[in-house]
Chain A
Amino acid sequence: MADPVDTVAPPAPPSLAPGLTYLRFLSAALRRSFSGSWRFYAWMTVLTAIALVGLNGWGHQLQQGMQVTRMSDHVSWGLYIANFTFGVGLAAGAVMMVIPAYLYDDHDMHDVVIIGELLAIAAIAVCIGFIVADMGRPDRMWHILPGIGRFHWPVSMLTWDVLALNGYLLINLHIAGYLMYQRYRGKAPRKRWYLPFVFLSIGWAISIHTVTAFLYQGLGGRPFWNSALLAPRFLATAFISGPAFVIVLLHVVRWSGRLTFGDGPIRTLTSIMRVTVLLNLFMLMSELFTALYTGGAHAAAVKYLFFGSHGKHALVPYIWTAVTLNVTSAVLLFLPRTRVDRRWLLAACACAFVGVYIEKGMGLIIPGFVPSTLHEVVEYTPSITEWKVTAGVWALGLLILTVALKVGLAMWTGKVRAADAPPMVDGAP
């Protein structure tokens, strides 16, 4: 799997203009993202194919309108917004590598923290993809640009989300880009150029998911969402799905041989998950107690979600699958076996990831609309087109993540360097 070291020719004189170096850096990154083993090509081809299926589905949706989805005026958000919500959590969850690395000075985590930053970038791209997919008129996207369209800030929570997500994207692009660029040039990164942004990104990560929760929890007409516990639950689930994904990703990276690191980061992330899975189950239980013990109108959505109502049960299999997976992941994470056996840990992460995906997606967005505000029980199951577009957006996200990791790790480990860069010492410039 080891890639040959890229040769950058011709040797550049030290007086080279910084602009030119940056162009070379970009061109090296570009070349790196298009070259690799047959495995890399196969993986990228599969992802591209899926993304194209999604693009095609989206095109039909643009032409024929959103009638190709199964959303309705009753359930006016569906699979796209469910995935968007989960994606924001994934992006925010990546900060669980940044916090140990920078706030707790965990040196092991410091070696791999770039992976979290790159994951955040890919996850935000996924979120933006789902928002665009959900828009009835993406041609009018410019209306939401601050200063150009009519940006209803600060009143509309959606404008806060636009700022939060794009800000988070820019911050992470800057941090990852700067660190990579410095490695490329063989120079030590200067703290004042990235450390403030790292701390900003920590606060920002919390805020993107808080703001996303506020989108829903600020709606008085939707009792299922109108709970102060929604934002904390969002964060707890983010800090399950993020670390779970990263643990799997770290195993893949290690297996690919592109980066060597100790078990410290995985241990830290597992410890975080041990807390957050329980926290999430606890908060879920608290919500269920409030709804079911009190009863009345506020319990209607919870009853529909968990038991069905008026003879309709579409979400019941989803939520019980999610609960089962979440409980299983919690049990697995606390088994002594999981500490020693990697497969058990990976199984726990897979359960946690899928469990949160369902609970926070279909299990959170759809019951907000069922029963409707006039208490009609209109059900929703995604259409083929919605699944196609959803698969396409995730494939696009994985494409971005793959390229980002490939290029990022090559730069990080000094495989791709400027011709005038000083030699690496001990894996660091």
Chain B
Amino acid sequence: MSGPTRRVALKVVGATLGAGAFAYAGRPVAQWAASVDIDDLLRRHYKELTADELAQILRRIEDETQKKYGVEVRVEDIPAQDGVSFGYALNLSLCIGCRKCAEACHHENNHDRPTNNSYIRVLEMQQGSFDMEHGTVDYDHAVPAPGKYYMPVQCHQCDNAPCVKVCPVEATWKEKDGIVVVDYSWCIGCRYCEAACPYHARRFNWRAPEIPADEINPDQGYLSNRIRPQGVVEKCTFCLHRTRKGLLPACLEACPTGARVFGNLLDPASSIRYVLEHKRVYVLKEELGTRPRFFYFFDK
């Protein structure tokens, strides 16, 4: 072959190979882009939705769940009640570390099954020490074990919440009843809130959660236990789909020792107010100034 012809041939071969490489390498991105739902993509922030738009979105989530799992669920948006400000206290003298609360959370909040995900992490602590350095979470023996006490940790719904401060898109905020919520349809998945939280309260959906259809909790809240999408952050909401209807949170109901006390901080006759007024309560990492609504106490 002569020079110019060969050069042309080389260029054609090169261009073909190059185009092939681009097509092959870009295929997963293209497939992903094609799978992005345009309505979901253009959805406005929760606070900017009209009642009608929100109702439509709730029906859509219900339809999608029906389609994907064949399960009929009810997704509600339950607003915070007036005159209610939630508080939670945990009696460390009573807690035996059975993790029943974590299990109840796991089921109530439609958590990913294979990872045993839960918003509650229970630490087995060394008697005589507050240092979590000496705590473990993967203990595997009968409880309570001698020389140990147990400290469940979940979202403290801080009044000065670092996670809310750092979110660049206001996908997480504090509601007027004190609960810190996440709009799973707005979160961009940067995980800055996870880095900011001093209590390991947030979880990221490293993949879409896996739940068998017959285990799905059908009573769902838009801002709480609806099945989360992949790639967003989630957290404990004090079971707002229950508590905003006057019910106790699932973790409290599951506690066999009665170590958990929940209620309205604004009601002087409430159990939580009794605990705050009569027990020597403390909050975790008070020195960070996060002002938690989750209190611990020993009463022995």
Chain A contact residues, CB within 8 Å of chain B = 48-49, 52-53, 55-56, 58-60, 62-67, 69, 71-74, 76-77, 131, 134-141, 143-144, 149-152, 155-159, 162, 215-216, 218-222, 297, 300, 368-369, 371-376
Contacts and interface: CB of A to CB of B under 8 A. Distances in A.
A161 to B, nearest CB: 8
Contact of A49 (B21, B167, B168, B190): B21
A49 B195 CA distance: 34
Interface string B203-238: 111111000000000000000000000111100000
Interface size on B, as a range, is 35 or more
A221 B197 contact: yes
15 contacts: A52-B22, A53-B25, A58-B28, A59-B25, A59-B28, A59-B30, A63-B28, A66-B189, A66-B231, A140-B186, A152-B168, A157-B166, A215-B192, A220-B290, A374-B123
B280 interface: no
B80 interface: no
A158 B187 CA distance: 14
Contact of A55 (B29, B188, B190, B198): B29
Interface of B: 18, 21-22, 24-32, 35-36, 41, 45, 121, 123, 131-133, 135, 137, 153, 162, 165-171, 186-192, 194-200, 202-208, 230-233, 285, 288-290
Given A137-B188, A219-B195, A59 B31 contact: yes
Contacts of A152: 167-170
Given A77-B191, A136-B233, 4 more contacts: A151-B168, A374-B123, A374-B132, A376-B137
Given A65-B208, A65-B231, A221-B285, A136 B166 contact: no
Contacts of A56: 24-28
Nearest to A375: B132
Given A66-B204, A375-B135, A150 B28 contact: no
Contacts of A139: 36, 41
Most A Cβ at <10 Å: residue of B166, B188, B192: B188
Contacts of A373: 197-200
A150 to B, nearest CB: 4
Contacts of B203: 73
A34 to B, nearest CB: 12
B292 to A, nearest CB: 12
A3 B97 CA distance: 74
Contact of A52 (B21, B123, B288): B21
Contacts of B290: 220
